[in-house]
């Protein structure tokens, strides 16, 4: 990385990307029964995740559906069914974190923190024709076949399988999933899958963590956005500017179509950084070149979904060094993609 710290001012936060459609989404809340991709794997057939088919009036739902605005209270039955707590993001995505605190993983000599790269998720969004579930699971090699079988038995689609880290001990896999149906039924089905992947919920978070020994102000200035502190990790979630759809549904960025940057403090303002940059096909080679020239290791290049439009690719990267200098190396790669402009500071 460059030894000279450059301070860049960026465009403003990316979270405003959903504001434009929130009002119109509210109008869809009263739409009819589910008609779409079923959680039993039958694409396009009318039905619910619990297998009860019906004869809904397809005219009640628009051809291109936007997520419906919701409140925390709407999702408490889902949290109860999964036995976990969650958080509502952008008023449309209810996200439940699935941390693997039971795993001890190292990569390139770094002890990997749970919030850096051992945290799966289950994200729910409501649409006119039902609820979408998307997310990913962090699995050991022994757990992977069992989780695959459980997902198939639950009728939840597996949409991607890959690794997020370079040389790792023990080997860890990530599998992405997707389903449509009744929200509580989806949560119950997913719980049967989680039961074969250890018992991470039984491992409590640490009572306290040391402060982040990073120049977070410098990282923010360099990336042009404000990060979020979580324990020893400083992270960013950056949505794209264009509308992304899957199965005729507009996908909000927090459901899993955002660029992710995570810095784990290593002491003396040094950090390990990892995450993935979301790209269209035309952006891929330029981003890889920029990352390679910046000294980052390219870990994986893959898709997360089966029919997203535009087709999106995700490049996972790895780097260790001064936190601000890592941010300086990442900034040109971010600028080479069609990121949504940051929202003005409040």
pLDDT digits (tens, 9 = 90+) for 138-197: 999 999 999 999 999 999 999 999 999 999 999 999 999 999 999 999 999 999 999 987
What residues does each domain of the chain span?
14-335
Does 324 score more than 70 pLDDT?
yes
Number of other residues whose CB lies within 10 A of the CB of residue 140: 18
Sign of the CA dihedral with 346 first, then 264, 160, and 182 last: negative
Confidence of residue 209 (pLDDT cuts 50, 70, 90): confident
**pLDDT tens-digit map of 91-137:** 999 999 999 999 999 999 999 999 999 999 999 999 999 999 999 99
Q: Give the pair of three-digit tokens for residue 50.
A: 């619990």
Phi (first) and psi of residue 71, to 5 degrees: -125, 160
Does 44 score more than 60 pLDDT?
no
Please give the pLDDT value at position 59: 59
Please give the pLDDT value at position 35: 32
Please compute Rg for the chain using Cα positions. 20
Q: What is the DSSP string of 200-263?
A: GGGSPPPS------S-HHHHHHHHTS--EEETTEEEEEE-BSS--EETTEEPPGGGT-SEEEEE
**pLDDT tens-digit map of 65-76:** 999 999 999 999
- What Å distances lie between residue 66 and 80, 130, 317, CA to CA? 26, 11, 31
Q: Which 8-state DSSP code applies to residue 181?
A: E
Confidence of residue 201 (pLDDT cuts 50, 70, 90): low
- In what helix (H) or strand (E) does residue 298 lie, and over which residues does it extend? strand 297-302
Provide the whole-model pTM.
0.81
Q: Give the pair of three-digit tokens for residue 114.
A: 């749970």
Cis peptide before 245 (omega within 30 of 0): no
């Amino acid at each position: 990385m460059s030894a000279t710290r450059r301070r860049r001012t960026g465009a403003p936060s990316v979270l405003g990307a959903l504001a434009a459609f929130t009002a119109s989404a509210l109008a869809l809340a009263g739409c009819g029964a589910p008609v779409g991709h079923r959680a039993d794997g039958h694409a396009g057939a009318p039905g619910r995740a619990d297998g009860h088919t019906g004869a809904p009036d397809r005219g009640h739902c628009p051809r291109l559906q936007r997520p419906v605005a919701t409140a925390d209270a709407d999702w408490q039955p889902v949290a109860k069914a999964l036995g976990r707590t969650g958080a509502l993001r952008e008023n449309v995505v209810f996200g439940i974190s699935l941390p693997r605190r039971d795993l001890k993983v190292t990569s390139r000599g770094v002890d990997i923190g749970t919030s850096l790269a051992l945290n799966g998720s289950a994200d729910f969004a409501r649409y006119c024709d039902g609820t979408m579930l998307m997310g990913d699971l962090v699995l050991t090699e022994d757990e992977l076949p069992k989780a695959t079988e459980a997902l198939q038995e639950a009728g939840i689609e597996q949409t991607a399988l890959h690794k997020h880290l370079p040389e790792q001990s023990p080997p860890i896999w990530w599998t992405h999933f997707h389903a449509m149906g009744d929200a509580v039924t989806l949560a119950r089905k997913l719980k049967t899958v989680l039961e074969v992947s250890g018992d991470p919920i039984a491992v409590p978070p640490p009572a306290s963590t040391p402060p982040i020994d990073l120049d977070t102000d410098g990282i923010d200035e360099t990336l042009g956005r404000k990060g979020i502190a979580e324990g020893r990790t400083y992270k960013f979630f950056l949505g794209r500017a264009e509308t992304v759809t899957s199965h005729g549904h507009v996908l909000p960025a927090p459901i899993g179509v955002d660029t992710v940057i995570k810095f784990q403090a290593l002491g003396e303002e040094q950090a390990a950084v990892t995450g993935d940059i979301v790209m269209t096909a035309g952006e891929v080679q330029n981003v890889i070149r920029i990352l390679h020239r910046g000294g980052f290791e390219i870990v994986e290049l893959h898709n997360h979904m089966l029919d997203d439009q535009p087709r999106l690719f995700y490049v996972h990267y790895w780097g260790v060094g001064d936190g601000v200098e890592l941010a300086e190396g990442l900034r040109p790669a971010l600028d080479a993609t069609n990121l949504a402009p940051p929202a003005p500071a409040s």
